[in-house]
Structure 1
Amino acid sequence: MNKFASLLISLILILITGCSSNDFEIKLITPKSFTPDQSTPIQMKILDRDGKPVEGAKVSADLDMQGMSHGDISMNMQETGNGVYVGQAKFEMEGDYTAAITIDYKGEKWLGEKRFSIVYNKAQ
């Protein structure tokens, strides 16, 4: 499936979920730089609409470099406690990325996205 079709499907699903898109607050924590050929930790803090940590959810993210079509970086996030979920990504290029996030919590799915930038680690 090409990138446009994936984006279109994601947008449709977001529109279908309607008001449930406000169920979670996601704080995406990424390092400012990465080292090629090494895993880079990506962390999310997920809170419910009352500001309480979301625990026991299945969380995944697809990282896509904006303007490029060299494939997504897919991650299944592991829960570490207190609403924090961590995954590992291997970046090949520095630039601007979009994290398409899926949260499956208590039988309901939520889709959202966060954007971030990352550069090569110059201190190698």
Structure 2
Amino acid sequence: MHKYTSLIFILILVLLSGCSSTNFNLKLTTPKSFTPGQATPIQLSIQDQDGKPVKGAKVSAILDMQGMSHGDVSMKMQESGNGVYIGQAKFEMEGDYTANIYIDSNGEKWKGEKRFSIVYNKAQ
């Protein structure tokens, strides 16, 4: 019986240590439309688990069009203040995208993803 108790205790410790990694709350803001050949602003708000803005992080994103293999759009994002990061992307096609977001905050690396859709700017 003592062996099983020890085994269960060790498994609980392993599970708890695996669950202690930091996660971030992300809010991705993109325009509804874009103009081909022009830079389109992408904004990302990052908060920690306590709802506090994440400041001073290194942030980048790779935008991948779902179902297509024409190449990804990658961008580095610059902090504009209060946990908000901004990047510029040049879209060539309208459609559904996945933003693979990479965050390096205080030496801790993390990857998340957000999905969005964007269409051509019809006002031209």
Name stretches of at least 5 consecutive residues in structure 1 with no aligned partner: 1-17
CA–CA separation in structure 1 for the residues paired with 2:43 and 2:79? 10
The alpha-carbon distance between structure 1 residues 57 and 79, as it changes in their structure 2 partners (threshold 3 A), is same
Equivalent pair of 1:65/1:72 in contact (CA under 8 Å): yes
In the alignment, what sits opposite 1:106? 106
Q: CA deviation at 1:23?
A: 1.8
Instruction: Give SS of 1:31's match.
Output: coil
The alpha-carbon distance between structure 1 residues 118 and 20, as it changes in their structure 2 partners (threshold 3 A), is farther
Instruction: Report 1:1-124 matches (<5 A).
Output: 19=19, 23-124=23-124
> Aligned-residue CA RMSD in angstroms?
1.2
TM-score, normalization: structure 1?
Answer: 0.83
TM-score, normalization: structure 2?
Answer: 0.83
CA–CA separation in structure 1 for the residues paired with 2:88 and 2:28? 13
Equivalent pair of 1:47/1:83 in contact (CA under 8 Å): yes
Instruction: Give SS of 2:67's match.
Output: coil
Letter of the aligned partner of 1:45 in structure 2? S
Instruction: Give SS of 1:99's match.
Output: strand
Instruction: Give SS of 2:52's match.
Output: coil
Q: CA deviation at 1:116?
A: 0.1
Q: Identity of paired residues, percent?
A: 79
User: Which digits, 9 at most, give the CA deviation of each residue in 1:84-116, with x for residues without a partner?
Assistant: 000000000000000000000000100010000
CA–CA separation in structure 2 for the residues paired with 1:40 and 1:54? 23
The alpha-carbon distance between structure 1 residues 62 and 20, as it changes in their structure 2 partners (threshold 3 A), is farther
Equivalent pair of 1:33/1:121 in contact (CA under 8 Å): yes
- How many residues align? The count is 107
